[in-house]
Chain A
């Protein structure tokens, strides 16, 4: 396997791993019934690595991929206690957007959307990114003001966002009830054309495949049980499958980020909340955009298969439990019907929940910690998936260069001690 200077795979030969995905390959293998090789290779665990990444989700795998592709650091292990994408990466509602409130947030998520736009080409993997546009509804003068604020910050940062009125909203999403008689009348919306949805599993698998092809070891069903720190430096990690010596550990977990940081002796300003979501039976395509209502705590999109995916805000109390609740589904259904009364007869297929690490300012925690060699990419709240590529890119640069890149400089752990918070609650609390 050869890697080009831009980090992309150069057309591998017939027997090279991994197989190059193409239309011709699809036809050829369809006709010959030749099986596809696995997308990533299981490797025996070594006793030492240059870098150990805890968490095999989009953040951990993206960091591993960019370490290898952009910085040539390939002696990397990704440890995942379950299967790849079994945490937040497989439980989110797969919405991408960059219409945040603070300039730091807008710049950061805009970079992520740009990386997502070319991800299918970079990874040679169809991630099914559909930039169908993203509508954040305003039901009060106060939220309309916030939408205007966000739109202006976005425009200054070069991100396409605009406030639109009910007539335009009705044109974009005819099934929305924009009448003034509604309990929560729709006064306007923040229209963000670059937003959309993506296939979240494909993003995880694509990064795993790209990282594995460049020599990264991926160890599933390997739980980290301890982190060895001596003299203020990371020395290694203990796992359910044996010990690993390493000078660098990246905590790229969600939900369990406190527990992993505790192993290194780093206290986090994080509280873990479950977030529940649900999906309906498939129906014909009728919803062309992503619909978000912060007031009603709901976001709605229609998948390529026709199912409606509903997300919400986090549960009302902290927990590591991932059980669904009836109160949630009742409230969610009521809120969805408030927006789209025509959906009364649509049946729910299932509900699930994932764990969200909420920080006091609704911004992530990225970069080095007081323990040398222990890096964090955590505190991703309810907005971690959409930041996967840029986080991986930035954390890879941070680890490789030893300096914090400008794009994540505002998100360091030290900001809580300095009181320099990056308040994103206005755009991140429910807005997906």
Chain B
């Protein structure tokens, strides 16, 4: 099954060109968290069965990071919702 990911620089490209980085998680300030909170950030995952927001790395293309929304059961990919103020495949911060 071919999965196309919308790269902001290269257009739709096959998922085999990308490395999967994983679901988007907000990194806490390393100087302000307890070790337990830091480990939660490191290890705990939502791992939803459904739509998830995640980062991919275009390792065989432009070698930049992009953000996409993917349904983890159907592997359908959709643009990041406009409400979030982002375009499809917008580069990850």
Contact = CB atoms under 8 A, between A and B. Distances in A.
A321 B39 CA distance: 29
Given A318-B22, A325-B1, A416-B39, A270 B73 contact: no
A153 interface: no
B73 A320 contact: yes
Contacts, number: 58
Contact of A269 (B22, B44, B49, B72): B44
Which among A256, A319, A323 has the highest number of chain B CB atoms within 10 Å?
Answer: A319
A272 B47 contact: yes
Given A316-B20, A360-B42, A321 B47 contact: no
A319 B72 contact: yes
B47 A268 contact: yes
Interface string B36-79: 10011011111111000000000000000000000011110000
Interface string A250-291: 000000101100000001111110000000000000000000
Nearest to A315: B20
B39 A267 contact: no
Contact of B35 (A269, A317, A419): A419
B80 interface: no
Nearest to B14: A327
Contacts of A319: 72-73, 75
Contact of B44 (A256, A267, A418): A267
A271 B75 contact: no
A13 interface: no
Interface string A211-237: 000000000000000000000000000
A259 B1 contact: no
A270 B22 CA distance: 12
A325 B1 CA distance: 6
A143 B22 CA distance: 28
B10 to A, nearest CB: 18
A360 B75 contact: no
Which among B20, B49, B75 has the highest number of chain A CB atoms within 10 Å?
Answer: B49
A270 B36 CA distance: 17
Contacts of B36: 417
A423 to B, nearest CB: 13
Interface in A367-423: 416-419
User: How extensive is the interface on chain B, given as a class?
Assistant: 20 to 34
A318 B68 CA distance: 14
A360 to B, nearest CB: 5
Q: Chain A: interface secondary structure?
A: loop
A254 to B, nearest CB: 13
A260 B40 CA distance: 19
Nearest to A324: B1
Interface string A323-342: 10101000000000000000
Nearest to B15: A317
Contact of B45 (A271, A317, A325): A271
A256 B73 CA distance: 11
A258 B72 CA distance: 13
A270 B1 CA distance: 25
B24 interface: no
B39 A327 contact: no
Nearest to A325: B1
Nearest to B47: A258
B20 A318 contact: yes
B39 A268 contact: no
B73 A269 contact: no
A321 B75 contact: yes
B17 to A, nearest CB: 11
B49 A259 contact: yes
Contacts of B15: 317
B20 A317 contact: yes
State the 4 A-B residue pairs at the shortest beta-carbon distance, nearest first: A317-B20, A269-B43, A258-B47, A416-B43
24 contacts: A258-B45, A258-B48, A258-B49, A267-B44, A267-B46, A268-B47, A269-B45, A271-B22, A271-B47, A272-B47, A317-B15, A318-B20, A318-B22, A319-B72, A319-B73, A319-B75, A321-B72, A321-B74, A360-B42, A360-B43, A416-B44, A417-B39, A417-B40, A418-B39
Interface of A: 256, 258-259, 267-272, 316-321, 323, 325, 327, 360, 416-419
Interface of B: 1, 15-16, 19-20, 22-23, 35-36, 39-40, 42-49, 72-75
Given A270-B45, A318-B47, A325-B1, 20 more contacts: A258-B45, A258-B46, A258-B47, A259-B49, A267-B44, A269-B44, A271-B45, A316-B16, A316-B19, A318-B20, A327-B16, A360-B42, A360-B43, A416-B43, A416-B44, A417-B36, A417-B39, A417-B40, A418-B39, A419-B35
